[in-house]
Structure 1
């Protein structure tokens, strides 16, 4: 069993999961986990149910013993003589030891069933396709006509001919899958970042820069945990070594989603202030341990990249509508880049632990001869907010109002994963001479206002195209 123990230096209270609902619906949770190929096993889920029931029995006994303590306290106060008072005090002392043992046992059981429960993935939208990645459903195709697959359009070869990318120096300085962007490619990163930010801001998102280092505890609460069920599960995060015992456990953030979610942790918002919409720019760090395939070539799968991330907090009723709003923003971003792309409703085995539903967008990359994921969008419902304590205060209280504040829903989506977009733009926009050598780029007109400095190049041919 993979243990998700809370960081002892966490600034947040323990997660508040719906343990009762999980215990009463263990069968459904097992089926859901199996459909999602989640790391949690049926054995662990049944163990959770057993431990939860044990905790209920201990809690009931503890309450009974505390009631007896109260009664003995009354006897001590009302005793008619020293003998009665002394006997009552002896009973109180023995009962106190028993209560302490019950309290310790209850705490142990609560920690154990919480460890089991934290492995359970979110519920799944009934419309999500069941199965592996091959079962993804294409819900739309956008953009100009698809180019034919052409190895000449390989982005690594193009970047080398145009002096845009230095993988060799990256390997020397840091290691494989680290890189330097050069010349127009460096300017392209800045233009893409500002272009995506501008569209999000236009739609009411608050611009934010995020920390690249986050507490491991926050990442786990967001659902970033190993997906395999081995004894020593692999983490794709870079962990920082604490320099003293009291230091928090820190990681390099795998996505701006993590610090953005953390911004709202342990807070209560008036329902009238929702939705909260933020767009953050930061660096994403991925170990991608063990990855060895064509996907690791060049810029497609790298250890560090700039990413513009959309994040929203809604009330419980508005998250599905917000998911559609975020999808429209992503569509607008990619459409403005003149890319041929498709939208996929991702199947159960492709959902991360936190996702209730997930859409991916894939751009056609003719040099690779395949589609490549460039955005992802997830509705996490209350999975993250229960772990991070993100709640809201309803505007209207009716007779059925629950005095406990409801948990918000959170959503996250990529506005721009820069290296993947550069791959797509190079492979679709490269210009060649008669001999087949790359001599320049044709870039989308939408990026021109965000291009640093001159929009022409003395080094190579640079064209701007709006169709």
Structure 2
């Protein structure tokens, strides 16, 4: 939820943000008008209640026709107060409805426009060059007996898979490398629930435009999470978080589920876009004034992981129209996928400022003793999709794949993954 005081003081900030996102700014006017109407009704009602109190004393002392007249006035005031209470309630409902439809205002510098309007901040690493026709990750995975899509489809349907043998070991190695990185940077590890209540899913902002990508279990009124961000945000819901010693940082390890509604084409081949995958997600609760610095810090952790895996990548500033409603800014890191001849997203990290915290009632205490919303940020540190870039980048002409040195200790010192006859 947005900051109502900022909305009152500077509605143009929200209008400009909505336009940059490619969304209507009309809701901003609706929210402002509803807020004015609500506060006006409350103010008039309070004034009338004071008049009622004075009139009550006069009625108690009056007699005869004067008392009758005053009683008539009191009844009229009571009816008006009741009417104003309904006006305020209706305006409050309209304000809440409209405010919940307004996305988190973007941070200055976020590019306007849609998916294609991102800005490349930097490209890092040399793109791999081969003196042979490179194989895609699925062909490599099948030769290594690391990926089994056929049996995944047999058991669960399309876009499901088995990681087996070296494939399973490689993913676990990657996740453990990420976990060690998170631990070294002060993150507390959590294995999170993958089923959450509707109020937690809604509080993080996932029940908006992309709610059709979320699995829902109506018999239990629970949602399957597409990222442990949801559970990590809900971890401190309705709480006052102690940030006196610095940010509260968590690393959530979980299985994730997504319908991937609307995606198709080449992304249906292999494990680039699947319905189930594993992920290690960073999540930070910080003071609002430190959120942008924390955002850069999360990106640096992600970059160190991609560099450790020997991947060529670029960092992009995602355009406003491609942000979720919760994010005020998002940086994606995309790795080079040789057989596709382009960069593909491996990580995202979002600065959600106080948007999620307001919806989930997560606060910290000021020196004055008052409480105010924290800022929340999230970012992927490793996920199953990374195997796509790792296999394709480090492949050899015979179908074997070199193991990045950083991953070798987690694979018993294995340096080369070789095809299985």
Taking structure 2 as the reference length, the TM-score comes to 0.90
Alignment-derived partner of residue 219 in structure 2: 242
Alignment-derived partner of residue 65 in structure 1: 48
Deviation at 1:205, TM superposition (A): 0.7
Matched, 1:430 2:395: yes
Question: Mind listing any 5+ residue stretches in structure 1 that lack a counterpart?
Answer: 1-14, 228-232, 244-248, 398-402, 463-467
Deviation by residue 1:112-135 (Cα, 9 ceiling, x = unmatched) = 211111111122222222323333
Determine helix, strand or coil for the equivalent of 2:288.
coil
Deviation by residue 1:35-81 (Cα, 9 ceiling, x = unmatched) = 1124xx233332223222222222222222322333344346x4366
Determine helix, strand or coil for the equivalent of 2:379.
strand
Alignment-derived partner of residue 167 in structure 1: 149
Return closer, same or farther for 1:52/1:163 CA change in 2, 3 Å cut-off: same
Matched, 1:21 2:6: yes
Deviation by residue 1:272-329 (Cα, 9 ceiling, x = unmatched) = 1331111111122211212222223210011111110011111122111111211111
Q: Assess if the C-alpha contact under 8 Å between 1:149 and 1:367 holds in 2.
A: no
Question: Mind listing any 5+ residue stretches in structure 2 that lack a counterpart?
Answer: none
Paired residues in the alignment total 420
Q: Assess if the C-alpha contact under 8 Å between 2:144 and 2:419 holds in 1.
A: no
Matched, 1:377 2:354: no
CA distance in 2, matches of 1:169, 1:187: 18
Alignment-derived partner of residue 371 in structure 2: 405
Determine helix, strand or coil for the equivalent of 1:444.
coil
Q: Assess if the C-alpha contact under 8 Å between 1:129 and 1:348 holds in 2.
A: yes
Deviation by residue 1:183-204 (Cα, 9 ceiling, x = unmatched) = 1111112111111011010011
RMSD: 2.7
Determine helix, strand or coil for the equivalent of 1:290.
coil
Q: Assess if the C-alpha contact under 8 Å between 1:150 and 1:369 holds in 2.
A: no
CA distance in 2, matches of 1:45, 1:150: 57
CA distance in 1, matches of 2:157, 2:286: 41
1:281-296 matches, cutoff 5 A? 281-296=253-268
Alignment-derived partner of residue 309 in structure 1: 281
Matched, 1:264 2:236: yes
Return closer, same or farther for 1:303/1:111 CA change in 2, 3 Å cut-off: same
CA distance in 1, matches of 2:106, 2:379: 18
Matched, 1:116 2:98: yes
Return closer, same or farther for 1:179/1:80 CA change in 2, 3 Å cut-off: same
Alignment-derived partner of residue 51 in structure 1: 34
Matched, 1:299 2:276: no
Matched, 1:132 2:90: no
Determine helix, strand or coil for the equivalent of 2:213.
coil
CA distance in 1, matches of 2:416, 2:269: 29
Alignment-derived partner of residue 20 in structure 2: 35
CA distance in 2, matches of 1:180, 1:101: 63
Alignment-derived partner of residue 203 in structure 1: 185
Deviation at 1:375, TM superposition (A): 0.7
